[in-house]
Structures are given as structure tokens and as C-alpha cells.
Chains A and B, each alone.
Chain A
Amino acid sequence: MLRKKGVIAFLLVMVLVLAACTEGTNTDSTSNQSDSGEDGNGGPLVIGFEADASTLMANHDVNYTTDTLIRNIYDPLIDREGETGEFVPVLAEEWENIDELTWRLKLKEGVTFHNGAQFNADAVKYSIDYILNEENGSFYRSRWANVEEVVAVSEYEVEIHTSVPFPSMIQRIAEDLLIVEPGYVEEVGIEQASNEPVGTGAYTFVDWSRDNHLKLVAYEDYWQGSPDIQEVEFRIIPEFSARMSAFMSGEIHLFKNIPVDSVEQFDSEEIGEIASSRINYLALSNLVEGPLQDVKVRQAINYAIDADELLETVLNGYGTRITGPLSQINSDYTETEDYGYDPDLAVQLIEEAGYDPNELTLTLDTPSGRYPMDSHVAQAIASQLQSIGITVNVQVNEWGRHLEKIQNRETGDMYILGWGPAFDGQSTIENLFTQEAPYSSFYQEDIEEKITQTNQLFDQDERKAGYEEIQQDLVEQAAWVPLWQQADLYAISTSLNFTQRVDEKLNVYEMSWK
């Protein structure tokens, strides 16, 4: 009997010990519902997020989630304007290219890091060197491989030397680079700096509980002025339904990516919509053996797919049609002709190419859940092609597998993919329509030549003209079936001022309470 009691006592003690050793068992106030709840003004802003950052170190992980969260802690040198995507100076005041291989940036003076250290050219050099240093394993290195050296010319001037002419340097700076505090990283080491970051951004780090929350507080000495919202919590809620419930109960004030088929569950004044610079398309591969190597068949497929109808019925109208390779926000965008929907012409073209549509079988690869309604769109495309007699086998892939199939050229004739955020011609066209670039599986020698030539141009007008011609060529060659720019749908509390950005970033500094 005594032994039995001993066992029970032991179990009870174990339960208590385990309960006590749980991470963050102290009930801190911000995760308490009543605090983060309805008291709109002045309380912490809580933003629901699908996934957590993998690290809080800047310039390391190429990942939307990581980048979006840490941009509230670190500042970039150059940013994009939220509505137009144009470059705006942040920590760099001016930039110019002195010659084809050198960029010079003039930096802002009087900016301090959260730990009081001064921002200067050394910090810029250190941040870029972090990317270039192989030992750090930064996944940005591939994009910066052309950078040879960074030189701090003076306290507030920095020069970037490249090994080849690199006209898209400013894009790289705007999209990738965030400035870290060299002294701090050196002092505490990369591991600690990855968990307790120090930047010049509008918010300073408070607490990070992985896959649970990231808490930040306003940086009072922020060089653009103290933020309106004093406390921010990014709360990680992977399930959409749980995010929706948390939003409805007032636990969170903002989240991104409402599925298009759930929009009606929200009040219309709680919905924010913006056309993203991310495009979705149906790739037509001319790199694998098959009928799609014939331009007429590719054109026929463009005629046989009614993208307007897909947008209206499958996506409930949430999206903006595109007709060429670039989104309308793209600075190099030019208007291209829409193939339109003409199934009779499609049949005619296929026959001209020497095929019988009724005997044609194509494979269509699609991810599931990566893009709005992606696999549904694939099914709908299959049935549209079916209606002119083509048999389409839809193959649904897990995302990682889908990407790998595309990179290894193992997909079927067609696949669904998205690209973005993309604001300039080069970063889309170069990565999609050259022989080495895997993401459209379309390649034509003369078009690649034009791309190579245009990429090397420094004159903005010449560049634009070059990309315009390429866009027309690609449409003519029916390089793919352009579908739409995604609509980014946000749930926004009525007590919050928040203007959605085309680059999908959530900069809390730009938000305020009503």
C-alpha cells in the first residue's frame, strides 16, 4: 500500500514539475486575451501569421515570412514605395553608378542602432560581407555573387564593386539587404544575434518564442520619428480557421491571405484587397519532347483557355488579368495583345500543326495550396481543354516536389506556377525565359540573345524598349498562358489604419490606430 502511494506521489510530482518547466509559463500580459483584445487604441497590435521566421538574422534566409517580420527590426538602404513599387531612399540617401562596375551610395547621417551604436558605411560593408562570406551559409549569396568588394569610402559613403556590369544592383539592395550592427554581432556571435536582433528599424526586439510569438516595442529614437503603434506582437497561427476565429474574437487585428472562397465570412469593411505583383501562369514547356514544341499548338492552348472565365468562377473575381509575361505594376510592363477565347481557332491551329485534338493527351502539373485555388484552376483548365477534345492528365504535387520537378525538367507538358513579387523586367524575364532558367520551361535562342543584350544596358529607356520587344516576342511565340496577378486579401480590424502594399510587406511603422 505504501509503495502504491509512493508511485502516485511520484506521478503527481512529475506532472507538477513538467507543468512548471514549460516555456513561458509565466502569464505575461500581452498574450492575455483581454489585453490584446478589443482595446483598440494604444494596446499592442497583434498580427496573425501563418508561419514563423526561421531566424531573426538579417541577410540570411530567403523567405517571405522571415523578411516581412524582420523588416520591422532592421532598415533597408533602399525600399519600395508601397503602392507603386518605385524605389525610395531609406538609409541610403542617394545612389549612382560611377562606371559599369561601381556603384556608390551616400548614406544617411545621424541614424542609431537600438543599442546606441552609430549607423555608418562600416555597417553596410559588414552586412554585405555577411552575405558574401561562404562560411555564413547565407542563401542570398547566389544573388550577390557578382559583387566583388564593398569599400567604405568615408564614414557615410560606400562603394560596391562588381565583377561584371550589374545594372540590377539597386533591385538587389532594395529587395535583399538589411543593415545589421557589426559591433553587436561581433560581440555576441551570430547565434545570439539571430535570436536577439539589433537593427536601426522602428521596433526593438523584446521576446521571441519560436512558432508562438515575436514581440517588439517601438524604438523611441527612431530616425523617422517614434512609431504610432507602441507594441507589436506577431502571433503564429498556422491554421486559417484558427486565424479567422482569433480575428473574430479580437485577439488579432490583422492577417494576410484570406482564401478567396472564405471572403464572405468577413464584413466588407474588414477586408483589404490589393493586386499583388505576384503573377500566376500556366507554363507550356518546349523543352520536353512533345506537341508543345510547335508554336501553333502553344497558341491553340492560349485560345482554348478562357482565363477571364477562370478568374470569375474559380477565383470569384479576386485577381487582375494579365496578357503577357509581366504584371501591370512592373516598371517594364508594356501592353500586349490578349489571345482571347476562341476554341474553333484553337482546333484549327492544332490541325494545322498536324495533330488531331481528339488524340492529343497532355499532362498538367500543379501544386496544391501554394497559389490561390491552384489545383482547382488546374482542373478547370483541364476541362476547358477537354472541351476541344484534348485529354489532360492533372498531376497534383506537394510543393517541394513540384518545384523540384520543374527544376529537373521532370514535369509534363504544362504546369501551374507563380512568380513574384517582381517589379522589374529583368528579374522576371531573365529567370523565366532563358535556357538555364527553369521556371517557364520555354526557351528560344533568338529571344535569349535579346534578353542577354538588354540586361547589360544601363540606360533606363533603352532597357525598357528592349524588354518591351521581348514581351511582344514572348506573347507572339505563346511562351506561356498568362493568367493573373494574385489578389492579396487581408483581414483588417476596423480600429486599425493599414494600407496594403504591392510587395506584401507588413511594415508596422506605416500603420496606426484609428
Chain B
Amino acid sequence: MLDFIVKRLLQVVLVVFLALTVVFFLIRLSGDPTTLFLPPDAPREQIEEYRELLGFNRPLYVQYGDFMFNAVQGDFGQSLRSGEDALSLVLQRMPATFQLAISALFLSIIIAIPLGVLSAYKRNTFFDKASVGITVIGQAIPNFWFGLILIYIFAAQLQLLPSSGGGSLSHLVLPVITLALYSVSRFVRFTRSAMLDVLSKDYIRTSRAAGAPTSRLIMKYALKNSLIPIITLVALDLGVLLGGAVITEAVFSWPGVGRLLHQSLMNRDFPIVLAGVFIIAIIYAVINFIADILYAYVNPQIRVK
């Protein structure tokens, strides 16, 4: 087990390193940020002076080496625009993103898994067809559009909930529903097909013949065995959600990481972008790590391997 963990940890380091490297060079392709920060009437020699001050006049590999050297020590530099520590700007946004992501995922799971199980159990009934139909629509609806419709109905027309911003529980309702819609649809479809797969297995038929009660049949025998693909999916979705749901955060003015990164990218505030990528890469890697351990719990065969 220790071997397994060490190996996985090395993988985490590699993933983070590669992600930072790729993003470092990709954002440089977008050009030099100094032109965006200085007033448009700045003379050429001033632009050069700032390039020197910020280090953008050095060869790219020197900038890269310098960046990596500092990043290893946890120093991602200062925001080019405001001069504040880039990493702490990103970390300040994490709680808001966590809150949104975990709530959306939680809501998705408690709705989707029972729905998926029921759908599979009542296969080809009206209930099943309706639930499949609705989930297809749910997956097809664009996030931003659904968000705007919710705002229009619940904030602008009924005035039940605030349209935007963060701070209270009521601010959380609409963005969580918007985010959950997509995950719910995916989870329901996945749970249903995984359950169908398991329900057609011999051992289920045997248990049924042996007189096992339906609830036990589904909950203990079938669901547990169909959980593996669902765990993968949930882990992936959580990674996506924690990376910042850029569109949903923008529509609802949710002050999370996604918006910060999007804005920093548009402003070419490179240190913030790289600090954000660092955090997100770590989160992804850690979630995958946890998912692997959960597999082992759900399926002892993996543990043995």
C-alpha cells in the first residue's frame, strides 16, 4: 500500500510540473502583458522600461527557469496589476468555489443516484422513459442559458432570490441548481446503465430466485457493484467543478476561482494564472488519488492487484 501511495504521489508531482510548464509557455503565446497595463499613451521607452522591470525582456527559458525555481518554493510572484501575492489571491477564492462545487455535487448525487437506480429497476416503463428524456434535455441545455432563465424567473420576475453575488445561502441556490443540472443528467444516465448491466448478471437472478427482498437486492448486491464507474464520474466532475465553473461563476457573479482565472487570463496577469493552474492541478491529482483509494474500498479485487 505504501508503495502504491508513493508512486501516486510522484505522479501528482509530475502532473503539476507538466501542467505548469505547458501553461507557462501557452500563455506567453498570447503576447506581452506590459502593453495592456500601461496607459495607451505610454511612450516606447517606457514600455521597454516596464518590460525590464517585470523581467519580460529576458529570454523565455530564463523566465521559465526563474519561475520554476521560485514556484518550487511556493512563490508564484505578485499580480502584475495590483502587486499582491498571486497565490494568496487564488487561495482567497477557493472557499467560494469549494462551497459551490461541493453543494452542486452533493445535490446531484442525492437526486441522481436514486433516480438512476429506480430508472434501471423500472426499465422501459413510463417513469424510465420520462427520466431518460429529461436527462437528455438536461445535458443538452447550455449552462449559461439555463442560469439566465433561472435568474429571469426567480430573481427578475418572482423576486424570490438574489440574481447575483455571493455571501448568503440564498445566493447559493440558483448557481447550485444550474451547476447540478448537468451533473445530475450525467449521473442518472450512468447509474442507470451501470445498474442495468449488473441487474442482468447471473448472481442477481440467483439471489432473486433465492428470495432476497428487492430492497436488499438493489442496495446491497447491485448498487455497490455498479458504483465503480460512478465514482470515476463523480471524481471527474468534482475536479471540473473545483477548477472553477467559469461560465456559471460569471453568470451569477460568483466570486470564485474560475472568474479570477478568466479575468487574469484576459488581463494577461500571468502570475495569477499560473498560481491558479498550480492549485487546480493539485486538486485534480488529489481527487484522482482519493478516487483510486475508494475503488479499492468498493472493489476488493483492485486492492489485491
Residue numbers of A with Cβ under 8 A of B are 3, 7, 14-15, 18-19, 21-28, 31-33, 37, 51, 54-55, 60-63, 134, 137, 139-143, 145, 190-191, 194, 209-213, 235-239, 241-242, 245-246, 248-251, 398-401, 403-404, 407, 419, 427, 430-431, 436-437, 439
Between A and B, 14 residue pairs with Cβ closer than 8 Å are A18-B102, A22-B96, A32-B162, A54-B79, A54-B81, A55-B84, A61-B37, A139-B38, A141-B46, A190-B83, A191-B83, A211-B259, A245-B155, A248-B156
Query: How many B residues face the partner with a CB closer than 8 A?
Result: 64
Contact between B168 and A251, CB atoms less than 8 A apart: no
Contact between A245 and B156, CB atoms less than 8 A apart: yes
Nearest residue, chain B, Cβ from A3:
B297
Q: Does B295 contact A (CB under 8 A)?
A: no
Contact between A427 and B92, CB atoms less than 8 A apart: no
Interface string of B232-269 (1 = CB under 8 A from A): 00000000000000000011110100011001001110
- With beta carbons under 8 angstroms apart, the residue of B79, B99, B151, B159 that contacts A242 is B151
Bound state CA distance, A194 and B164, in angstroms?
25
Residues in A whose Cβ lies below 8 Å from that of B168 = 25, 27-28, 31-32
Residues in B whose Cβ lies below 8 Å from that of A145 = 46
Nearest residue, chain A, Cβ from B250:
A238
Interface string of B182-217 (1 = CB under 8 A from A): 000000000000000000000000000000000000
Residues in A whose Cβ lies below 8 Å from that of B251 = 239, 241-242
Contact between A212 and B41, CB atoms less than 8 A apart: no
Interface centre among B44, B98, B163 (most CB of A within 10 A): B163
Interface of B is mostly: helix
Given A55-B81, A191-B84, A212-B253, A134 contacting B163 (CB threshold 8 A): no
Q: Does B106 contact A (CB under 8 A)?
A: yes
Interface centre among B40, B161, B166, B267 (most CB of A within 10 A): B40
Contact between B30 and A401, CB atoms less than 8 A apart: yes
Contact between B92 and A194, CB atoms less than 8 A apart: no
Residue numbers of B with Cβ under 8 A of A are 30-33, 35-44, 46-47, 50, 53, 79, 81-84, 89, 92-93, 95-96, 98-99, 102-103, 106, 144, 148, 151-152, 155-157, 159, 161-171, 250-253, 255, 259-260, 263, 266-268, 297
Bound state CA distance, A235 and B52, in angstroms?
36
Contact between B253 and A142, CB atoms less than 8 A apart: no
Residues in A whose Cβ lies below 8 Å from that of B164 = 235, 237, 242, 246, 251
Residues in B whose Cβ lies below 8 Å from that of A439 = 40
Residues in A whose Cβ lies below 8 Å from that of B144 = 239
Bound state CA distance, A7 and B297, in angstroms?
11
Residues in A whose Cβ lies below 8 Å from that of B151 = 241-242, 245
- With beta carbons under 8 angstroms apart, the residue of B53, B89, B297 that contacts A137 is B53
Given A212-B253, A212-B255, A245-B156, A427 contacting B41 (CB threshold 8 A): yes
Closest beta carbon of chain A to B111's beta carbon, Å: 16
Residues in A whose Cβ lies below 8 Å from that of B46 = 141-142, 145
Given A19-B103, A31-B167, A242-B163, A251 contacting B40 (CB threshold 8 A): no
Contact between A400 and B266, CB atoms less than 8 A apart: yes
Contact between A211 and B167, CB atoms less than 8 A apart: no
Closest beta carbon of chain B to A243's beta carbon, Å: 8
Contact between A235 and B253, CB atoms less than 8 A apart: yes
Residues in B whose Cβ lies below 8 Å from that of A51 = 263
Contact between B165 and A235, CB atoms less than 8 A apart: yes
Given A31-B171, A212-B255, A61 contacting B263 (CB threshold 8 A): no
Contact between B31 and A142, CB atoms less than 8 A apart: no
Contact between B167 and A28, CB atoms less than 8 A apart: yes
Residues in B whose Cβ lies below 8 Å from that of A251 = 155, 162-164
Contact between B253 and A237, CB atoms less than 8 A apart: yes
Nearest residue, chain A, Cβ from B266:
A400
Bound state CA distance, A236 and B170, in angstroms?
17
- With beta carbons under 8 angstroms apart, the residue of A22, A241, A250, A404 that contacts B99 is A22
Residues in B whose Cβ lies below 8 Å from that of A61 = 37, 81-82
Bound state CA distance, A26 and B41, in angstroms?
44
Bound state CA distance, A403 and B40, in angstroms?
9
Residues in A whose Cβ lies below 8 Å from that of B259 = 211, 238
Residues in B whose Cβ lies below 8 Å from that of A54 = 79, 81-82, 267
Bound state CA distance, A191 and B89, in angstroms?
13
Given contacts A25-B168, A400-B267, 12 further A-B contacts (CB under 8 A): A19-B99, A28-B168, A33-B170, A54-B79, A60-B82, A137-B53, A213-B165, A237-B253, A245-B163, A400-B36, A427-B41, A436-B43
Bound state CA distance, A436 and B47, in angstroms?
12
Interface centre among A7, A23, A145, A235 (most CB of B within 10 A): A23
Residues in A whose Cβ lies below 8 Å from that of B41 = 142-143, 427, 430-431, 437
